[in-house]
Amino acid sequence: MNYKVLGLVVAIAAVAAGAWYFTRSPEMQPEATATTEAPAAEPSATDAAAQAAAEAAAAATEAAQAAGEAAKAAADAAAEAVNQAATDAAAAAAEAVNNAAAAASDAANAAVEGAGEMMDSTKALTVESFDADKVIEMIETSTLAEESKAALKAVVEGARANPGLVSGAIEQVKAALGH
């Protein structure tokens, strides 16, 4: 509860209590006269003070209720903001995980393809599975000098035409490519 509102309520209650005390104490009471006075048509000061105190207390209660409702609304808004932020963070994390998984999958596929090509290359450099086109492709994609590439391709073409030369051609290509 707001301390200002509480202080106001206490101050109003003190004023009302003081007014009541002073109007009820014997010193403040007028002495009775022999004549009977007619009751006053207007409310007494005590009644007015009590009425003012009651109205002030009601206003303070309403202010306290309004402050409580405002605090609850602020707390609800803060909770909603935190909930939304958590939802957004979870969505971003899930997207990051999905992207990382896709990248890992792509890398694994590339590695498998690379391994498959390497197996094909290694297989092409055997007498039993000699593949002149694959060996020529390996020579062309290598970092050898153009003169060396031309000489090796001529050897492979000779082995394609004469299967007896395959073994020697394979040895020359392996030595040049570092296999």
Would you say residue 175 lies in a domain?
Answer: yes
For the cut 70, the answer to whether the pLDDT of residue 34 exceeds it is no
Give the closest residue to 71 by CA, choosing from 14, 1, 140: 1
User: CA angle, corner 49, sides to 44 and 50, nearest 5?
Assistant: 95
For the cut 90, the answer to whether the pLDDT of residue 147 exceeds it is yes
Would you say residue 139 lies in a domain?
Answer: yes
For the cut 50, the answer to whether the pLDDT of residue 30 exceeds it is yes
Would you say residue 144 lies in a domain?
Answer: yes
The mean pLDDT value of the chain amounts to 77
The answer to whether 121 and 138 have CB atoms below 8 angstroms apart is: yes
- Residue 41: the pLDDT is 46
Would you say residue 108 lies in a domain?
Answer: no
Would you say residue 169 lies in a domain?
Answer: yes
C-alpha 126/C-alpha 170 separation (Å) is 7
The answer to whether 173 and 156 have CB atoms below 8 angstroms apart is: yes
pLDDT band at 68 (very low <50, low <70, confident <90, very high): confident
Would you say residue 41 lies in a domain?
Answer: no
Q: What percent of the chain has pLDDT over 70?
A: 79
Q: Total domain count for the chain?
A: 1
Query: Residue 154 sits in which domain range?
Result: 125-179
Q: What percent of the chain has pLDDT over 90?
A: 19
Would you say residue 1 lies in a domain?
Answer: no
Region 70-96 average pLDDT: 77
Would you say residue 102 lies in a domain?
Answer: no
C-alpha 125/C-alpha 170 separation (Å) is 6
Residue with token string 């007619």: 38
What sign does the dihedral 161-162-165-167 (CA atoms) show? positive
For the cut 50, the answer to whether the pLDDT of residue 175 exceeds it is yes
Region 92-107 average pLDDT: 78
